[in-house]
Amino acid sequence: MAYLAISVSTDRLSAGIVDDDGSVVVRDRVATPHRDVWPALHRLVRRVVAANPDDADAPIVCGVSCEGPLDDAAGTVSPMHMAVWRDFALRERVRDLAGLPTVIGTTAEARVLAERWVGVAKDVENVMVLVMSDAVEAGVVVNDRLLRGRLGNAGQLGHLVVEPDGLPCPCGGLGCLTPYVSAASLEVETNRPLRRAPASIVERAGVMTGRAVASAVAVFDLQSVLLAGAVPSTFATPLLEAARRELDQRSRLVHLRSGVDRLEHRVELDLTVLGSEAALVGAAALAKWHDPDRYDPAG
């Protein structure tokens, strides 16, 4: 059994074929163009399908991850950082191209499913993955079920207020998490690439992350939170330590503590260990756990 996996982000389009063990059999990627995104993705998918070895399983379902927001019922996406796509009929376009049942989900939904499939959260029934790249969003699994919400946008932690009357957010609000931890916002604010961000900015990003995570673990009663994306992979341990300190200060209930006191039920906060193929494994995970009654290739 195999899955056609497609990942759409503001900087990269990726496609591949992933087997039922979560191994990527075929992969390819291109930089996301400023315009003509669909033609570029169309060509990429055709190349990947043509490159599948003759002795390998043909994909039976397609999973597509894309930065939110999206409308799962309509099959459309409107990535906040991709102005050329507004209410873009991504599921229908991919379904017609691939001739396969097609599932769409946010990048973070895909990542949390990937962690539960082949990552460190295999046996964790209550877990969140917070993705911090240009977009900031979370995928949340509670009692072994992925939370999707009304339109498929559950987990948009990037728009949780962490600093009242704080920095302006692209959504139009003030003090949301996004302007403090998204790669695009930090690079604009500092006029530097992420790897050259001052220590004070890294510390602040960790504090704001800890505030958001504290709210999330209290609301969802989580066991584990994993940080993923360009910002955690670049800021690494200093970000994580600042986030853990803030989480400890704001999570005083016993079952929420994540400190050094080895409580049996404490919340774990860590960095994801999935590497460069995580995006494709996540998109395949969306396909693997799809509901066949909802995603008929005929529409």
Determine the pLDDT at residue 295: 43
Tokens of 258: 């994540």
Scan for tokens 């946008």, then name that residue: 153
In angstroms, the CA 217 to CA 219 distance is: 6
Q: What's the average model confidence in pLDDT over 285-298? A: 64
CA distances, 105 to each of 70, 159, 197, 286 (Å): 8, 18, 31, 7
pTM metric for this prediction? 0.91
> How confident is residue 146, by pLDDT bands cut at 50, 70 and 90?
very high
Q: For residues 135 and 10, is the Cβ–Cβ distance under 8 A?
A: yes
pLDDT in tens, 226-272: 999 999 999 999 999 999 999 999 887 666 654 445 445 578 999 99
pLDDT in tens, 179-226: 999 999 999 999 999 999 999 999 999 999 999 999 999 999 999 999
Domains 2-107+277-288 and 120-271 share a fold: yes
In angstroms, the CA 126 to CA 218 distance is: 12
- 254: DSSP letter: G
Report domain 120-271's class.
alpha beta
Determine the pLDDT at residue 299: 40
Determine the pLDDT at residue 256: 62
Domain locations in the chain as residue ranges: 2-107+277-288, 120-271
Could you tell me which of 197, 196, 225, 231 has the C-alpha nearest to residue 211?
225
In angstroms, the CA 65 to CA 154 distance is: 14
In angstroms, the CA 213 to CA 60 distance is: 36
CA 133 to chain centre: 9
Report domain 2-107+277-288's class.
alpha beta
